[in-house]
Every structure is written in structure tokens, then in C-alpha cells.
């Protein structure tokens, strides 16, 4: 009764303010209040609230906006670099265990490490302890962080609605009462108000680089969310900010929703955000990365996730990346971070924020969340005492190189290869676009079985993504750049189109292209495009003979598959062997028996049957594999490492490219050395990455209009030769950036 009586008001008794404890901290007469824990709490008037806020420096950080693919301040584009800030001694509860001096020391150290951005958590329950009641002390603290941001020249990237960030713990808002934050109407109302409150206060704050609507949704404590709920939540929260803040870009801090077909996958939310996020923790996706962390596939994981997100049509920031020094040698963590950072940047990422700034202090080991998550204690770029770890040195080296880049006019060029992502994978469940249903369906309503069931299962996710990932790595090893456009996009301008086996199947609609797409594929090839496709036992293709020069006769189950080259083809020699192991069972790992219908046999299988068939259609070139090679490689541990015969599988697509006249702008003569061009009108950049643990000496050939070349940063490898033909040696897992110019040296 007492709470109901005094709800929303305070009783003043001779200088002592009586306020219910559940309201937590409020402001009375502009002063800070002390808290005593009791049912009817006494708050004694204390010092003014402004005593902890540092004076703003005269030279404030400039406002940031998105300029094409990159962020820009004062008209100059820059690469976002830094980390997620989780203090060593107070962890995610830094706001409750406030230590202004320690926090400033962290910012000073991050400035020494050349951070230009730091991602921070805004604990939901601390900022809004009761519905619609905002804690002024929490905003004081944020104001203090903003003052440090200006002082140390580090932009803040705040993440809203944080309840859990580290380990398995989750600090729930105490008033949620079991309601789902993604779908409950009252929760959505409160969340939109919460987001709008931040936007109202900080709409013109230049120290904020962008708003992150939340970290890794769906919310951990209520993980179930539909596609529609994810779209609605993003639209509502983003819209609430946009009502009062038209300046700051907006993102949702998604983790592996792109790889896992989650409801917050990029295609569903792209229209309501300004850029996209990915947290490519390959070590936590063993179904897609059945390898050591430092494997070639693993070190391409961040680049693949970047390309997959870019296919949704918005810029991409890697918001989290890293591995625990409690699980892996610090040197290997640095190797993984380095190769991942440079490779993702080459793929189009506009920056990287590593997880995380520092290790946890030992006093945190016995406290939640670290007590049940020992790996979370040592993700830091520094040790808890500030000592720089190898991963920190790797980031600083990248920051030095990226910080000296002039990104004016630099745009990511169209790739050599288009790996199609099925529309069924990217669309929202319940969206019947392209079904061509009769407008009057009241008499015979259409009900999609795929839409009323649980959606893409784990097998479908693994099957499609592992095959696309394998094709991505094969393409890069072949020296070909890769995009992942969506099935309904315009991909006719790409020189080479690749349809791995799941896309050519007929089971599980989320994995394959729609029937009418095959007509577009035929038109693409007829107009001069090159096509590489593979089939499996559940393949279904209208008129395969007209496209591939071969008919599908029957399935061909096989455990071990050997492809023997019988005709010289684009660099492949007769007698050359490629061996694959079928690591799974079922039709998606079977092959198909082919019967020629005008095509030419390039390779036969272990039974002497056609395995690779080449065909000409109009002005185009087609190569068909009778076996799902990408699925084999996707399911094979360490498929791209060592001396296994399958490691050379990239030579098949490399041969198709040579036959079809697809020549990359820049290429290395070593398959494990990734080389990428980021061109502008009169200058550009070459990004080099060695994905192997051993040193690689390679020759780089390019057709860029380059006349001079220079290395960026202090830790860049030396090279010799001309700007378009030079030799370079990269140590194991080394990376670097070179700048070229069309001006004479």
C-alpha cells in the first residue's frame, strides 16, 4: 500500500527526502543523492552532480558520417580501429563500481595504442532501474566518458539495452516480469522511449560515432525471436532514435546471425540500419570451421562474413573479433587476429573493433561472470596490468598502416566471382515475393509448409554456409576476388558465376535457387558469362543438357571420390588427380551419373564416368562437376591445410577462369598468399595476407595503372621489382598494405 500511495512522488521532511528504494537514484534540486538500502530509503542531500565531469577540451572531436563504404570526419575518410572496453577490475559492472581515475587511465592507455574508436556497454538496468525512470547518475557517468573521448581523441560506440556481455551471465532488468523484449508491446514501448531518451540527450554529441541498438540479439535471456519480431524491433528502436537524432549512424551489433540464419540476419534489418555488424568468432562455429583456429579456412572467416554481409547492401564493421589467451598461445591469437583483420579489410570491412581491450583482473575470477567462464578472463589486447600482448601489437601495426591511408575515391571494385546466396535464405519467413500467386486467393489460400515449420534447420545452415565458405576459400586461393550477391540481385556483370551443390538441389528450399533462376543463369552464360556448378544426389535442374551439355541419369553414392583429368584444360594436365572424402551421408554428399549431351569430358571419376564436363553456350563457358566438391571440402577438417590432394581443388575453378578469359587485376603465384586491390582514380592500395604459418615468397602481377609503390606503416614487408611485377616475402601469418600511384616515383 505504501508504494502504491507514494508512487512517483517524494515526501520531504525537514531536509531529508524519503523515496522508495525501487526508484534508485534520482535528482533532487540538482544534487546527487546518497543511497541507503532499506524499504523506505533516506536520501541525504550531498554534493552537486557535476563534480566528476571533466571540463570539455576546446578541440572537440569532429562529427562523423558514413561516406560511401567508410566513415568520415572533417571530410576525410578513416578506418575504424580499436576494441571493446571492458575494464579489468570492474568488468561489465563498471558503472556500478565507478572509478573515474581508473577509467581515465584506461582511455589514456587506449590512446597510446592508437585507438580511434571504443565500443562501450550501457547497462540497461542501471540506466532505467524502473520503467520509464532514468538514473541521472548513469548519465553523469556517460557524460564523463564523453569528456574523456574528446580529451583522448577516441570516438565512443555505445551499445544499448545491455544485460549481458561477458561469459554466460545476464543482468536482467528487474521489472521485465518474464516479458519478451523483442515482441511484448509494453516492453517495446519502453524500449523505444529508452532509445529516444539517449537520442534526445546526445543527438548532437560529436564524440559518438554511431548508435549500436544492442549487442548480439536475440537477447540471450529470451533467445527465441521470429523474423518478423527482429524486423519490427529494429524498425521501432531505430525509428525512435531517428525521430530526434538525424546525425548518428545506426547499427545492430549482430554476431553470427549471418552464418546461422538467425532472425537478425543482415538482409532482414538492412533497410532500417545505416551499416551492418559481424562478430566472426570462427572458433565458436566448429560445424563451419572444423579446423584449428589458425587454419587457412579459419583465417578467411572474417573476410567471408564481411562479404556475406556486404551482399545485403550496407557497409560492414567488424565489431568484435578475437580469441582467449587462456585457450590459445598469445602469439597464435595475434596471428589469427592479424590475418583476419587484413583479410576482412581487403574484403570490404570499414573497420575492426577487437574483443577486448584488456584481460580481467584476478580479483574477478571468483565473481560472475568469470567464475564459470574462465576463457573470458584473457581476451585482452593488454594484460590486466596494461602490458601489451602480441595481439595488441598486431592491432597497432594495422592502425599505423590504415591511419596513413588516403581513402578519398577508394571504392571496393566488383569482384571476379559471384557466389549466389539463395533468396530463400535471405528473405523473411512469410514473404511470398516472387511466388506469382493469383491476386484472388480467397477460395484456395496458399500455405507454405516451409514457412509454418521451424525454418532452416541446423543441417541446412551447415550445408549451405559450409559449401559457400569452401567456395569462397577456393576462389581466393585461385586468385579470384569474391562477392556474395543475392539471388534476386543483378549479377550479370560478374565475369564468373558459381553455384555450389546446395544451390542446385531441390530439398530444403532455404538452400537452393528458385526454379525460374535457371532461365536467368542460361541468359547470363549465353551473353558471355562463365559458370561453375556442382551437383549432388538431390539435384534438380530444368534442361541440364541445354546448359551443361550433359544429362543427369541417376544418383551416384560414393565414399571416396577421385577426379582424374583426361583432357588439358586451362592449366590442368592429363593424369592430374584430385581426391575427396565424403564426410557425411545422404544425398547431399552423393554424386550424379552424367550422360553427355554435347559437352566435353575434362575429368572422369573413380569408376571412369564423366566427373567434370565443359560446355559452350552462346558466348559463355560452363563447367559442371558431377560431385558436390564444395560440400566435401566444407565437411572435411583442415581441408585447406597441409599437402592433401584436396588442397589443390582451387585449380579447378582457376582452370575455368583461364579457359573463359577471366583475369584478375592482381594476383599472387602462391595460393596461400591473398592479394587484393582497393583502387582509386590515381592511386590505390594492395593488401597482402599470408594465410600459412610458414614464410611465403611470392611474385605479384597486376594490371593496375601503377608507376610507383610504397609500403605503409613501420612493420610492413620489403619488396623488390616494379609496381606491376614485384617479389615479396611474407613471414608466417604476416600481412601488409602497399600504396600505389600512377605518378612516377
* Residues 227-254: tens digit of each pLDDT: 999 999 999 999 999 999 999 999 999 9
Q: Which tens digits make up the pLDDT trace of 404-451?
A: 999 999 998 999 999 999 998 988 877 777 777 777 656 667 777 666
What is the pLDDT, as a whole number, of residue 441?
A: 57
Topology classification of domain 417-437+450-660: Rossmann fold (3.40.50)
What is the pLDDT, as a whole number, of residue 589?
A: 92
Look-up of cell digits 527526502: 17
**Strand arrangement of the beta sheet that strand 666-668 belongs to:** 666-668, 696-702, 725-730, 719-722
Most confident of 48-52, 366-370, 653-657: 653-657
Which has the closest alpha carbon to 603: 638, 647, 639, 570?
A: 570
Q: Which tens digits make up the pLDDT trace of 169-217?
A: 677 898 999 999 999 999 999 999 999 999 999 999 999 999 999 999 9
What is the pLDDT, as a whole number, of residue 238?
A: 98
The Cα 647–Cα 61 span in angstroms is 49
What is the pLDDT, as a whole number, of residue 453?
A: 55
Burial class of residue 49 in the structure, from the number of CB atoms within 10 Å of its CB (0-12 exposed, 13-18 middle, 19+ buried): middle
Structural contact between residues 320 and 281, judged by C-beta atoms closer than 8 angstroms: yes
pLDDT tops 60 at residue 76: yes
What is the pLDDT, as a whole number, of residue 323?
A: 97
Structural contact between residues 161 and 102, judged by C-beta atoms closer than 8 angstroms: no
pLDDT tops 80 at residue 10: no
The listed CATH number (3.90.650.10, 2.60.40.1180, 3.40.50.970, 3.30.70.1230) that belongs to domain 667-741: 2.60.40.1180
Residue ranges per domain, the chain?
2-51, 64-173+184-403, 417-437+450-660, 667-741
What is the pLDDT, as a whole number, of residue 13?
A: 30
Q: Looking at 28-37, 162-171, 310-319, 648-657, which range is the least confident one?
A: 28-37
Contacts with 75 (C-beta within 8 Å, 6 or more apart), sequence order: none
When pLDDT is averaged across residues 673-681 and rounded to a whole number, the result is 96
- Is the sign of the CA dihedral 391, 397, 403, 406 positive or negative? negative
pTM for the predicted model, two decimal places: 0.91
What is the pLDDT, as a whole number, of residue 7?
A: 31
Q: Which tens digits make up the pLDDT trace of 89-120?
A: 998 889 989 999 999 999 999 999 999 999 99
What is the pLDDT, as a whole number, of residue 458?
A: 66
pLDDT tops 70 at residue 46: no
Look-up of cell digits 603465384: 669
**pLDDT, the chain, mean:** 89
pLDDT tops 90 at residue 26: no
What is the pLDDT, as a whole number, of residue 718?
A: 84
What is the pLDDT, as a whole number, of residue 645?
A: 62
What is the pLDDT, as a whole number, of residue 454?
A: 52
Q: Looking at 51-60, 375-384, 506-515, which range is the least confident one?
A: 51-60
The Cα 665–Cα 687 span in angstroms is 13
What is the pLDDT, as a whole number, of residue 221?
A: 79
pLDDT tops 90 at residue 306: yes
| Superfamily of segment(s) 64-173+184-403 | Glycosidases (3.20.20.80)
What is the pLDDT, as a whole number, of residue 164?
A: 72
When pLDDT is averaged across residues 651-674 and rounded to a whole number, the result is 97
Q: Which tens digits make up the pLDDT trace of 122-164?
A: 999 999 999 999 999 999 999 999 999 999 999 999 999 998 7
pLDDT tops 50 at residue 55: no
Amino acid at each position: 500500500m505504501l508504494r502504491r500511495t507514494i508512487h512517483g512522488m517524494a515526501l520531504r521532511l525537514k531536509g531529508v527526502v524519503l523515496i522508495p528504494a525501487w526508484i534508485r537514484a534520482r535528482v533532487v534540486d540538482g544534487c546527487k543523492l546518497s543511497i541507503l538500502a532499506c524499504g523506505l530509503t533516506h536520501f541525504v542531500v550531498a554534493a552537486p552532480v557535476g563534480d566528476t565531469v571533466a571540463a570539455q577540451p576546446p578541440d572537440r572531436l569532429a562529427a562523423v558520417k558514413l561516406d560511401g563504404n567508410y566513415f568520415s570526419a572533417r571530410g576525410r575518410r578513416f578506418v575504424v580501429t580499436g576494441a571493446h572496453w571492458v575494464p579489468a577490475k570492474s568488468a561489465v559492472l563498471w558503472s556500478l563500481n565507478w572509478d573515474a581515475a581508473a577509467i581515465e587511465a584506461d582511455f589514456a592507455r587506449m590512446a597510446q595504442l592508437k585507438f580511434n574508436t571504443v565500443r562501450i556497454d550501457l547497462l540497461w538496468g542501471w540506466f532505467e532501474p524502473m520503467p520509464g525512470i532514468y538514473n541521472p547518475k548513469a548519465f553523469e557517468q556517460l557524460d564523463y566518458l564523453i569528456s574523456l573521448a574528446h580529451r583522448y581523441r577516441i570516438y565512443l560506440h555505445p551499445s544499448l539495452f545491455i544485460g549481458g556481455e561477458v561469459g554466460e551471465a545476464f543482468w536482467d532488468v528487474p521489472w521485465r516480469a518474464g516479458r519478451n523484449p523483442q515482441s511484448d508491446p509494453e516492453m517495446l514501448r519502453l524500449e523505444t522511449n529508452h532509445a529516444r531518451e539517449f537520442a534526445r540527450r546526445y543527438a548532437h554529441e560529436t564524440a559518438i560515432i554511431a548508435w549500436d541498438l544492442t549487442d548480439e540479439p536475440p537477447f540471450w535471456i529470451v533467445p527465441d525471436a521470429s523474423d518478423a519480431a527482429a524486423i519490427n524491433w529494429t524498425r521501432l528502436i531505430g525509428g525512435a532514435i531517428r525521430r530526434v537524432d538525424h546525425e548518428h549512424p545506426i547499427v545492430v551489433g549482430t554476431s553470427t546471425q549471418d552464418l546461422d540464419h538467425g532472425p537478425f540476419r543482415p538482409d532482414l534489418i538492412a533497410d532500417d540500419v545505416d551499416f551492418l555488424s559481424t562478430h566472426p568468432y570462427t572458433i565458436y562455429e566448429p560445424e563451419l570451421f572444423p579446423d584449428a583456429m589458425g587454419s587457412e579456412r579459419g583465417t578467411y572467416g572474417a573476410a567471408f562474413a564481411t562479404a556475406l554481409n556486404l551482399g545485403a547492401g550496407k557497409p560492414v564493421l567488424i565489431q568484435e573479433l578475437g580469441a582467449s589467451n587462456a585457450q590459445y598461445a598469445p602469439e597464435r591469437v595475434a596471428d589469427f587476429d592479424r590475418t583476419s583483420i587484413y583479410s576482412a579489410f581487403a574484403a570490404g570491412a570499414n573497420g575492426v573493433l577487437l574483443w577486448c581491450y584488456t584481460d580481467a583482473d584476478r580479483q574477478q575470477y571468483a565473481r560472475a561472470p568469470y567464475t564459470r567462464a574462465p576463457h573470458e578472463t584473457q581476451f585482452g589486447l593488454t594484460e590486466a596490468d596494461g602490458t601489451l600482448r602480441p595481439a595488441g601489437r598486431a592491432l597497432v601495426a594495422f592502425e599505423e598502416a590504415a591511419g596513413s591511408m588516403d581513402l578519398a575515391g577508394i571504392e571496393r571494385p566488383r569482384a571476379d566471382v559471384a557466389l549466389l546466396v539463395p533468396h530463400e535464405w535471405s528473405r523473411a519467413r512469410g514473404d511470398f515475393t516472387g511466388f506469382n500467386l493469383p491476386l484472388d486467393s480467397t477460395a484456395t489460400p496458399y500455405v507454405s509448409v516451409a514457412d509454418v515449420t521451424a525454418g532452416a534447420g541446423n543441417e541446412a545452415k551447415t550445408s549451405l554456409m559450409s559449401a559457400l565458405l569452401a567456395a569462397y576459400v577456393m576462389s581466393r586461393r585461385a586468385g579470384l576476388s569474391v562477392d556474395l550477391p543475392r539471388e534476386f540481385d543483378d549479377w550479370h556483370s560478374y565475369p564468373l558465376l558459381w553455384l555450389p551443390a546446395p544451390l542446385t538441389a531441390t530439398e530444403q528450399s532455404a538452400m537452393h535457387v528458385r526454379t525460374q533462376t535457371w532461365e536467368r543463369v542460361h541468359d547470363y552464360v549465353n551473353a558471355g558469362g562463365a559458370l561453375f556448378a556442382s551437383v549432388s544426389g538431390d539435384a534438380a535442374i530444368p534442361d541440364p543438357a541445354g546448359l551443361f551439355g550433359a544429362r543427369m541419369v541417376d544418383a551416384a553414392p560414393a565414399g571416396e571420390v577421385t577426379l582424374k583429368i583426361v583432357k588439358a584444360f586451362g592449366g590442368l594436365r592429363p593424369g592430374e588427380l584430385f581426391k575427396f572424402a565424403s564426410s557425411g551421408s545422404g544425398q547431399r554428399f552423393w554424386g550424379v551419373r552424367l550422360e553427355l549431351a554435347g559437352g566435353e569430358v575434362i575429368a572422369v571419376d573413380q569408376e571412369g564416368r564423366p566427373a567434370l564436363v565443359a560446355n559452350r553456350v552462346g558466348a559463355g563457358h560452363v563447367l559442371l562437376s558431377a560431385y558436390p566438391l564444395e560440400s566435401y571440402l566444407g565437411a572435411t577438417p583442415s581441408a585447406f591445410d597441409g599437402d592433401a590432394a584436396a588442397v589443390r581443388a582451387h585449380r579447378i575453378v582457376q582452370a575455368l577462369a583461364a579457359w573463359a578469359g577471366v583475369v584478375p587485376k592482381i594476383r599472387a603465384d602462391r595460393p596461400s598468399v591473398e592479394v587484393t586491390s582497393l583502387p582509386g582514380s590515381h592511386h590505390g592500395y594492395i593488401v597482402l595476407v599470408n594465410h600459412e604459418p610458414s614464410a611465403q615468397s611470392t611474385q605479384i602481377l597486376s594490371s593496375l595503372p601503377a608507376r610507383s609503390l610504397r609500403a605503409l606503416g613501420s612493420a610492413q614487408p620489403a619488396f623488390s621489382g616494379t609496381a606491376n611485377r614485384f617479389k615479396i616475402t611474407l613471414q608466417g601469418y604476416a600481412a601488409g598494405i602497399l600504396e600505389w600511384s600512377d605518378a612516377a616515383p
